Amino acid sequence: VNTDGAIAVVTGGAEGIGRAIADHLLRSGASVVLADLDADRVHATVERLGFSQRSLAFVGDVSDEETLRRLLKETTDRFGPIDVFAANAGTGGLGGIHVLDEEWALAWNVNLMAHVRAVRLLIEGWLERGRGYFVATASAAGLLTQLDAAPYVVSKHAAVAFAEWVAITYGDRGVGVSCLCPMGVDTKMYHDAQQSVGAPGARAIAASGPILSADEVGRAVVEAITEERFLVLPHPEVAEYLRRKTNDYDRWLAGMRRLQARVK
């Protein structure tokens, strides 16, 4: 997809990876609506990015269907039909099976159902026009795993599965999909995880590979949209880890247990 002149929405756009995706889309010539829960920050970000004619801040919870409907309407009213929707807002958090049901529900709702609801609202228009592009921010945790982060891992696997499913179901009718699966990225979410005292999950992220800047990741996403490539792996080693996992599952599980013992 040519992003020059495209109309895009990026959720979780106030900071981190979402802000970087929005920045690269704007620099490539797209018009972008940045949607976020954090009103002050999303307005400040739109101002700071400096494309006032081609950008707009939207405040709301993008896992809520009515809010999503409003987001799509405001985008279309202002700029025209949406070409690219980047479902990037996500919720992190560490913990295993003792995480409260409310936190499992939050992870499921934001990391998966927000994607399902967005595609559900967009798909009819995309099929009528014969084009549309969906970007899912999942995680390397959605292809591999992440220690001490059960709701996160499960909901990110679901996000990858949903993105694959959309690509297969609608790919022959003009709908493209990219799925972003990074390891550690230098954002607020990453620093929050690092600060939870004694969390092996946070240490495991740091031990698994380099921490990339959000800017590098945003650039990789816009490249993948342009090339219409499904898997976006700003950490290329994730492809090798995935091969090892699928080549020999038991060996991969044993390796993950060794990593767990190391970071305890």
Ligand X SMILES: NC(=O)c1ccc[n+]([C@@H]2O[C@H](COP(=O)([O-])OP(=O)(O)OC[C@H]3O[C@@H](n4cnc5c(N)ncnc54)[C@H](O)[C@@H]3O)[C@@H](O)[C@H]2O)c1
| Residue with Cβ nearer ligand X (120 or 173) | 120
Q: Coil, strand, or helix at residue 186?
A: strand
Residues that bind ligand X (CB under 6 A): 11-12, 14-18, 35-38, 61-63, 88-92, 110, 137, 139, 182, 184-185, 187-190
- Tokens standing for residue 114: 């927000």
Helix (H) or strand (E) run with residue 135 in it: strand 132-137
Min dist. Cβ of residue 128 to ligand X (A): 27
| Residue with Cβ nearer ligand X (75 or 137) | 137
| Residue with Cβ nearer ligand X (11 or 55) | 11
Using CA atoms, how far apart are residues 262 and 200, in angstroms rounded to an integer? 9
Min dist. Cβ of residue 94 to ligand X (A): 12
φ, ψ dihedrals at 71, nearest 5°: -60, -45
| Residue with Cβ nearer ligand X (4 or 40) | 40
Scored b (16 or more CB within 10 A) or e, 50-78 reads ebeebbbbbbbbbbeeebbeebbebbeee
Min dist. Cβ of residue 172 to ligand X (A): 28
Min dist. Cβ of residue 180 to ligand X (A): 7
Using CA atoms, how far apart are residues 33 and 26, in angstroms rounded to an integer? 10
| Residue with Cβ nearer ligand X (6 or 149) | 149
Min dist. Cβ of residue 171 to ligand X (A): 23
User: What is the amino acid identity at position 89?
Assistant: A
**Partner residues linked to 135 by β-bridges:** 86, 178
CA dihedral of residues 228, 157, 75, 50 (deg, nearest 10): -80
| Residue with Cβ nearer ligand X (37 or 259) | 37
Min dist. Cβ of residue 64 to ligand X (A): 8
